[in-house]
Structure 1
Amino acid sequence: MSTRTFRITVRGAFEDLTDAQRAALLADAAEHDVLRAAFTPGGSLTYDIAARPAFTFRFSATGEEEEDILEATEQAEEAAKAWLTERGYGFKRLRTTAEDLSRAPLGKRRRRTARTSGT
């Protein structure tokens, strides 16, 4: 059995930020820029609080079974909620999506490589 890799995205919006919270987010904005976005086991947060109050967490996880994506998705959403709650940030409209990369269609380059390698 092979290991499956999951990409989980948790999106939402900050809610009822105080001036101090907004200032803290603005001060840390460079660390959370979309150009630094990555799917990581611990989660990667991106936002542009100056433009709008939305945020995105990106998580990666692994599992053996197709059903493991459900637990990984739940854990990612709970991790995002915990991060926000620990810092006192209100949030709303959480939406979580997950993708099993073993089921993702191959891109043109990977299809070409698979054809030439005989797989």
Structure 2
Amino acid sequence: MSRGIRVTVRGAFDDLSAAQKAELLASAAEHDFLNTSYTPEGYLAYDVAARPFFTFRYLIEAPEDEDLDVTATRGELLAVEWLDAHGYAYKNLTAAAVDPAGTPLGARGRRAAAKSS
């Protein structure tokens, strides 16, 4: 059995050429931080006009027994693959994985759960 793990990979573009920056700026509306989601193909968000940072959000199916650190590494490798394929240099990559099933409900979620029971 598998579970959907949310993996967030953060980093910074490094030494972008003028053409690369123009390419990213032209596609900026498709990579808005305000409309992010976790998807199997990964959602890339950035605002290169303001700063060189980016975030990838992946929804990765992982076996029940797979450690979250392993899943985070898988997400990081997916981000590196995308960056390399598009010719973007990068630095300071970090990856974190969260199993939503293991996240405790906040006050609003507890109230909603209580109402539905």
Three-state SS of the structure 1 residue aligned to 2:59 is strand
1:12 is the counterpart of 2:18: no
State the shift of 1:51 in Å.
Answer: 0.3
Structure 2 CA distance for aligned equivalents of residues 86 and 73 of structure 1: 20
* 1:56 is the counterpart of 2:62: no
Deviates more, 1:36-45 or 1:58-67: 58-67
Contact 2:69 2:96 in 1 (8 A): no
| Corresponding residue number in structure 1 for 2:96 | 97
Given residue 42 of structure 2, which amino acid in structure 1 is its aligned partner? Answer: G
Shift of 1:64: 4.0
- Partner Cα distance (1:64, 1:81) in 2: 22
How has the CA–CA distance of structure 1 residues 64 and 79 changed in structure 2, closer, same or farther, with 3 Å as cutoff? closer
SS of aligned partner of 1:11: strand
AA at the equivalent of 2:106 = G
Structure 2's unaligned 5+ residue stretches are none
Query: TM-score, normalization: structure 2?
Result: 0.89
For residues 64-99 of structure 1, the C-alpha deviation after alignment (integer angstroms, 9 at most, x for no partner) is 415353443222111100111011100000010111
Task: Give the match for residue 34 of structure 1.
Answer: 33
Aligned residue in 2 for 1:67: 66
Structure 1: segments with no counterpart, 5+ residues = none
What root-mean-square deviation, in Å, do the aligned CA atoms of Structure 1 and Structure 2 show? Answer: 1.7
Distance 1:39 1:112 in 2: 25
SS in 2 for 1:97: strand
Aligned residues of 2:46 and 2:55 also touching (Cα < 8 A): yes
Q: Supply the distance in 2 between the matched residues of 1:69 and 1:97 (Cα, whole angstroms).
A: 8
